[in-house]
Structure 1
Amino acid sequence: MIRRRTQRRLATTVWNTGGCGSWYLDGGRNTNNWPGSMLEYRLSTLRFRHQDYLTRPAAGNRSAVRPVP
């Protein structure tokens, strides 16, 4: 869902509509990682949601990570 929303927003950016050759464009898909402003990104990442991520311990450090419920 996030990927589709991101692609929809990127469709109106200069990379897609400006007629420029960009490394962001890969076979019709825009690989830019954020379609918004820096402020919008900051506001959307204010809270880290642990439940959205799976974690594993670093090599050789089995106590570094809590178990994922």
Structure 2
Amino acid sequence: MPIVVNLDIILARRKMSLTELSSRMGITIANMSILKSGKAKAIRFSTLDDICKILNCQPGDILEYVDEEKEAF
């Protein structure tokens, strides 16, 4: 999938664990793990909004588009 989730990078920069983030957001660690691993098929804007508020970042810091065709060359 050409959308890459960089949540682990932002968490490391903020010195925050996924467990702490999920606790502060009120979302299960299992659901946060699915998002972090890039296996999520969708994300609600409200969830993205909460992540950005807590981590003091922009949506583009978490989500990145990677053109798979250009990487193949």
State the TM bucket, normalised to the shorter chain: under 0.3
Taking structure 1 as the reference length, the TM-score comes to 0.27
Richer in helix (by share): 2
Q: When the two structures are superposed, what TM-score results if normalisation uses the length of structure 2?
A: 0.26
**Higher RCO (C-alpha 8 Å, min separation 6):** 2
